[in-house]
A and B are shown apart, each in its own frame.
Chain A
Amino acid sequence: MPILLLVLLPVPPKFTGESARANEALQQTNADTLRAVFDLVLAPLQLVAQEGTVVDCADVKTRLCFPILSAWIADHAEHAALQGIGSKSCSMSEVPCQELGGDRRRIYETRD
């Protein structure tokens, strides 16, 4: 499996703890920075994702293909930070944290 290093994500500074407002502002700055980095990294893919690209297939035909971001390998804490959800929230469905591990037959709405 080929692996291509695209970018090293920035490590945000620690919260100062001076005031809740300062921490909130820093948190927003961190989120904006991360968003800007993601826009930059995924920009080449976004153009192709909108318009598609012609790919030569093994059956000698050419097809218009659209790349889909199918997985993001990370632990739950990283997913929570990237997706802007609480640390006790599920990244896939809208199950309340109190009901995690509860009724396995119950189906919750998917986050979108």
Chain B
Amino acid sequence: MRYREKALRHEAAEVASIAEYIQCLGVKIGNNVFIGLDRVSPAHLHKADLLHNICLGLFKHMMEWVEGFLKKHKRQQAFHDAWEEIPPYPGFSVPKKAYQEITQWQGKVMHNLGRCISAVLASALRNPYSSQYHDFKSALKCVSALVDFSLMAQYRSHTPDTLSYMESYLQTSHWTKDIFLEFRTSKANSCPSRSPGSGAKGIKGGSVT
């Protein structure tokens, strides 16, 4: 494979050994199960899907931020109360457990969460103090944008208009997600200041992947 050719050229990269050079590329030697198979390109096998990228990826990160946000503003109880008061609706399954009792967030539960989180959070953040108004508004805007994005991602076909809607929702979430920066453990230490530009820059490392 090409890594072998690269390894033979490792001296040009000024690293100590072939193993170190391969390690620099983020590869473990000899473990790729797809190598050597005909008509298989390992790099192109990864495809975005709703279960892994939206439900178990984007929503999982989002809820970690939301939990931190609720804790900071002492709105956890209001959130739990609103969660338990969700009424049944055609096509929507009411959560059987209280929010804090759910230990394993499976795809179906996360999918269900996406359909009610916007309303539950809005209810939990109602009647803010004047000092909280701006923060609550930004948090709701960010969560709503991510939910809108996930709902449109479920469309079975798209037009240029629906794709531009998705782009705008994603942009909105990036421009407003700074409100959650202190709860994003991987980013909080590396980004000390909350500048508008830092949100868009963290797209891959923060929420989407």
Contacts and interface: CB of A to CB of B under 8 A. Distances in A.
Interface of A: 31, 34-35, 38, 42, 46, 49-50, 66-76, 79, 82-86, 88-94, 96-97, 100-102, 104, 110-112
A100 B37 contact: no
Q: How large is the interface on B (under 10, 10 to 19, 20 to 34, 35 or more residues)?
A: 35 or more
Contacts of B57: 75
Contacts of A67: 39
A103 B29 CA distance: 28
Contacts of B204: 100-101
Contact of B202 (A68, A89, A101): A101
Contacts, number: 109
Contacts of A50: 38
Given A34-B33, A83-B42, A84-B30, 5 more contacts: A69-B40, A71-B45, A74-B52, A75-B52, A110-B43
Contact of A73 (B24, B33, B34, B52): B52
Given A72-B46, A73-B49, A101 B24 contact: no
B26 A97 contact: yes
A20 to B, nearest CB: 15
B39 A69 contact: yes
Contact of B37 (A42, A93, A94, A111): A42
Nearest to B23: A86
Nearest to A52: B39
Contact of B1 (A69, A102, A112): A112
B31 interface: yes
B28 interface: yes
B206 A92 contact: no
B30 A31 contact: yes
A99 B153 CA distance: 27
Given A89-B27, A91-B46, A46 B38 contact: yes
A40 to B, nearest CB: 11
A67 B38 CA distance: 9
A92 B44 contact: yes
Given A100-B204, A101-B203, A111-B42, A71 B28 contact: no
B66 interface: no
B2 interface: yes
Contacts of A68: 39-40
Contact of A70 (B1, B25, B44): B44
Contacts of B185: none
A84 B24 contact: no
Contacts of A85: 26-28, 32
A72 B45 contact: yes
